[in-house]
Amino acid sequence: MEHTKLQGLCLFICSLIMLNGKTVLGSNGDYMDGDYMVDLTILESAVSKGAVCLDGSPPAYYYDKGHGEGANNWIIYFRGGEWCYNVTNCLDRTKTEKGSSKLALKQRSFYGILSNNKTVNSDFYNWNRVMVIYCDGSSFTGEVEEVDPATNLHFRGARIFLALIEHFLAEGMKNAKNAILTGGSAGGLPALIHCDRFRALLPNSARVKCLADGSYFLDRKNKKEMTFMETVNEGLINLHHSAKMLPSSCTSKMKPSLCLFPQYFQEGIKTPFFIVNSMFDSFQINKTLPGYYEDLFNNTCSSCLVKNLQDFKHEFLSALPKQSHSSSRGMFIDSCLIHAHITSSVGWNGFSVHNKTIAEAFSDWYFDRSPVQLIDKPDLPLNCYKFPSVTNFCH
């Protein structure tokens, strides 16, 4: 029985992790919204600019060309996958596509906001849609000229970002009427960090906005020891020299490692941006409450776990941009125990807050139909995938 529970837990956690650009299967095994495959493109020309993955290989992306009314509209999506913040885990990443384009899948399916299916993605299905592989380990902030001959590690994430954007400009994005910079998890963080840089490279006449999915990583106030995110941030700053790429409006006031937390640099972002996140983000809850995480799936919730969950929720909500009627800040904050939403069909079209899906909410905000700042009400996390069979957690 215990083995079965653990097996189910592992499957569920894997499904949460796979949200970021991969097929997500629910209890009925049918959350796919298309079966076409998009080919991988290796950007060889970026090597001469020093814009390379951790192992020195060129950056790469998947691209589905826009057509019809979407021919001059662009979505640039950055894949996520945590970070490497010391030499050991950076070397480990070079054995995967998280550190080498040589190991990236030759084809990948596009779902959610990247889908070409008009039924499930009516506002963006015919846009130019790009998914960038994440092979630098720094959320595209690294900027180190020297390469250690002992490890051959390259910390060039910021150069990858610029080389790719320049490439897409040359491919037609210079004529964009609409453009979105987005990403999930560690890939959504650069959608905020580089948001104003992206805006500056696009035509003044274009509608340009940014979307961060599962990327609102929280600096918790009530902590007794260094958190996982603090360890990551300190490592990025020291190893990747990320500080120079972070918003100066933040780094001029506090130590650079804090300026990787959106709550500290969001006010300085001039370009409109939208946050999609769970107030019980599964990645952050796992890192924050590792001793209790399995209890959630067994629904054996102690009073201490319930309090910790509610404390996390309150801290998370208090860190978000202030709610207002401003169109420059949009948000969709749900209560699902998941991490990242928009590149799965069930996340993009299946979850609702105040009777609006993410697809509906983001489209209304992006096209200036109405301000959108939706925050869910539940005090405890919901099992939105209904796996295991419990409806809600800790209820």
Q: 45 an active-site residue?
A: no
User: Does the CA dihedral 240-241-246-252 come out positive or negative?
Assistant: positive
Tokens found for residue 62: 């998947």
Residue 172: C-alpha distances to residues 68, 180, 244 (Å): 14, 14, 29
Q: Which of the following is catalytic: 154, 194, 241, 339? A: 339
Q: Tell me the residue length of the chain.
A: 395
Query: How many Cα atoms are found within 13 Å in the side-chain-facing hemisphere of 10?
Result: 6
Q: Which amino acid is present at 195?
A: C
SS3 content of the chain, % helix, strand, coil (to 5): 35, 15, 45
User: Does the CA dihedral 172-177-178-179 come out positive or negative?
Assistant: positive
DSSP 78-95: E-------SHHHHHHHTT
Nearest to 168 by CA among 152, 181, 183: 181
What are φ and ψ of residue 392, in 5° steps? -130, 165
**What is the rounded CA–CA span in Å between residue 312 and residue 289?**
10
Q: Which amino acid is present at 300?
A: T
Which residue in this structure is represented by tokens 């070079």? 94
Q: Which of the following is catalytic: 281, 282, 334, 344? A: 281
Q: 213 an active-site residue?
A: no
- CA-only gyration radius of the chain, Å: 20
DSSP letter assigned to residue 146: -
Q: Which of the following is catalytic: 185, 257, 278, 282? A: 185
Q: 281 an active-site residue?
A: yes
Query: How many Cα atoms are found within 13 Å in the side-chain-facing hemisphere of 379?
Result: 8
Q: Which residues are catalytic?
A: 185, 281, 339
